[in-house]
Amino acid sequence: MVKLPIPHQGPGDVESRAAAGARRCQGLLLAICLRLSWEEKQSGNLEDYEETVKKAKEAWKVWADIPAPKRGEIVRQIGDALRQKIKVLGSLVSLEMGKIFVEGVGEVQEYVDVCDYAVGLSRMIGGPILPSERPGHALIEQWNPVGLVGVITAFNFPVAVYGWNSAIAMICGNACLWKGAPTTSLVSVAVTKIIAKVLEDNKLPGAICSLVCGGADIGTAMARDERMDLLSFTGSTKVGKQVALMVQERFGRSLLELGGNNAIIVFEDADLNLVIPSALFAAVGTAGQRCTTARRLFLHESIHDEVVAKLAKAYAQVRIGDPWDSDTLYGPLHTKEAVKMFLDAVEQAKQQGGSVVCGGKVINRPGNYVEPTIVTGLPHNAPIVHTETFAPILYVLKFKEEEEVFAWNNEVKQGLSSSIFTKDLGRIFRWLGPKGSDCGIVNVNIPTSGAEIGGAFGGEKHTGGGRESGSDSWKLYMRRSTCTINYSKDLPLAQGIKFQ
């Protein structure tokens, strides 16, 4: 692991970082028992990176020789170690990222859950035995680890996304090299310390799960490094495109989880008792800083006014405050830059014909707090509607027909998550079918956010096409060989070719 970086003042100067943060930070860090060293408060440099990669590659040689079920046992122990510190880790996520405490704990729970999933998977991964057309021959698929998996994660989920990648990559036989966001460096160090202790207690090198802390120079080095057998990147579409080009230039493998401009569609037959809390959670949860946040809400014209009125009333009841307070539902944005993006987007929405129903302003209190915002009156193809702003702004739009609104859902460049609310069985299956949603996550009567770890997570188009977590996403962390074994004394050729 490289040198510990200077902690950034990211989330929110929450209740003035000097007040609320200092009030609990010292006790929190002591409770975690991670003994974080503050002697060298600086980011790692490229020399540190080089040393870390070498150690990770050496550690992989040890890890790859361990049978998959035994690797699963180590991952199980990692999950248990995270369970033991779930509340203090959740508090640290809340402190450094700015999300409310219950979401911070829930994020660590995701890592625990995917560890449990990976343990079972460690006894199931493998390829088929295929029928050979040649007598005395066996045809099998052999799956082997790719080697070293680089994982670059974003600030908004500083624990869970690494967990999705590392737990699956590890049972597949890979070593991991993690670069977390610079603004959530304490979380990265804390998680890595927990994992390293489990590895070392099992007399395994801690470098199997290495950490590099640094800025864009480290990320660029990872993207260009041919020793990085797979690079998993979570972040913006803009940066993801640059990463993809650098990895492809060396014919490397990448797994991209990028932006999402997600929509909820509400038909006239929808159960509004489901719609209102779903739209609220999807648009306001994590202060709009999820890649699966609902940014567009399409309402059938017959229920538009009713839903907007009920939603505005619900917005007015959102409890805003210190994310460590158990009564808080909505905390600050992560950085001051995010506040500026929020204000710019609201202004653009007004200029393009939108009306702010509620919110739209900065909250007068210490920290990066803004009002959760609803904007109506914009056309479906307004430029700002097609722009992903990582902030709690929900654009509410009217529609008349199913066909047009399905097309509007699909017309944005991203293709991550989507939801409809309806009781029409035929419409549900049309939504799931080839002319329905073009997203990687397609929901019915639930919001766009809150995915379970058992299903593959990811999206299409400018979302990058990557898949993490459940289903068969394990295949992305392995390489496949088609193997033919001749156990006869003859040499028949395929397709009946005679070569004599």
Each residue's pLDDT tens digit, 310-349: 999 999 999 999 999 989 999 999 999 999 999 999 999 9
Does the structure show a pLDDT above 50 at 40? no
**Where do runs of H (alpha helix) occur along 202-303?**
216-224, 237-249, 272-284
Closest CA to 416 of 395, 392, 447: 447
Is 257 marked active-site?
yes
Average pLDDT over every residue of 459-475: 97
User: In the chain, which residues fall in CATH 3.40.309.10?
Assistant: 262-452
pLDDT of residue 499: 77
Instruction: Give the Cα separation of 296 and 92 in Å (integer).
Output: 31
Which of 96, 103, 110, 257 is flagged as catalytic? 257
In this model, does residue 84 exceed pLDDT 50? Answer: yes
Q: Where in the chain is the domain with CATH 3.40.605.10?
A: 16-258+464-481
The pLDDT tens digits for 404-435 are 999 999 999 999 999 999 999 999 999 999 99
Q: Parallel, antiparallel, or unpaired: how do β-strands 129-130 and 175-179 relate? A: unpaired
CA angle, 17 then 18 then 21, to 5°: 55
d(CA 247, CA 300): 44
Tell me how far CA of residue 275 lies from CA of 57, 106, 446, 474, in angstroms: 49, 23, 8, 34
Decide: residue 134, CB within 10 A, 0-12 exposed, 13-18 middle, 19+ buried.
middle
pLDDT tens per residue across span 350-374 = 999 999 999 999 999 999 999 999 9
Taking the domain 16-258+464-481, which CATH number applies? 3.40.605.10
Residues 13, 17, 19, 24, CA torsion sign: positive
Q: What is the pLDDT of residues 205-247, one digit of tens each?
A: 999 999 999 999 999 999 999 999 999 999 999 999 999 999 9
Residues 6+ away with beta carbon under 8 Å from 149: 165, 166, 169, 174, 175, 176, 177, 228, 229, 230, 231, 232, 477
- CA 108 → CA 18, 83, 190, distances in Å? 26, 8, 12
Considering the segment(s) 262-452 as one domain, its CATH architecture is 3-Layer(aba) Sandwich (3.40)
Ramachandran region of residue 61, left (φ > 0), alpha (ψ -120 to 50) or beta? alpha
Rounded to two decimals, the pTM is 0.92
The Cα 237–Cα 247 span in angstroms is 15
E-strand spans in 34-136?
129-130
Phi then psi dihedrals of residue 492, to 5 deg: -70, 145
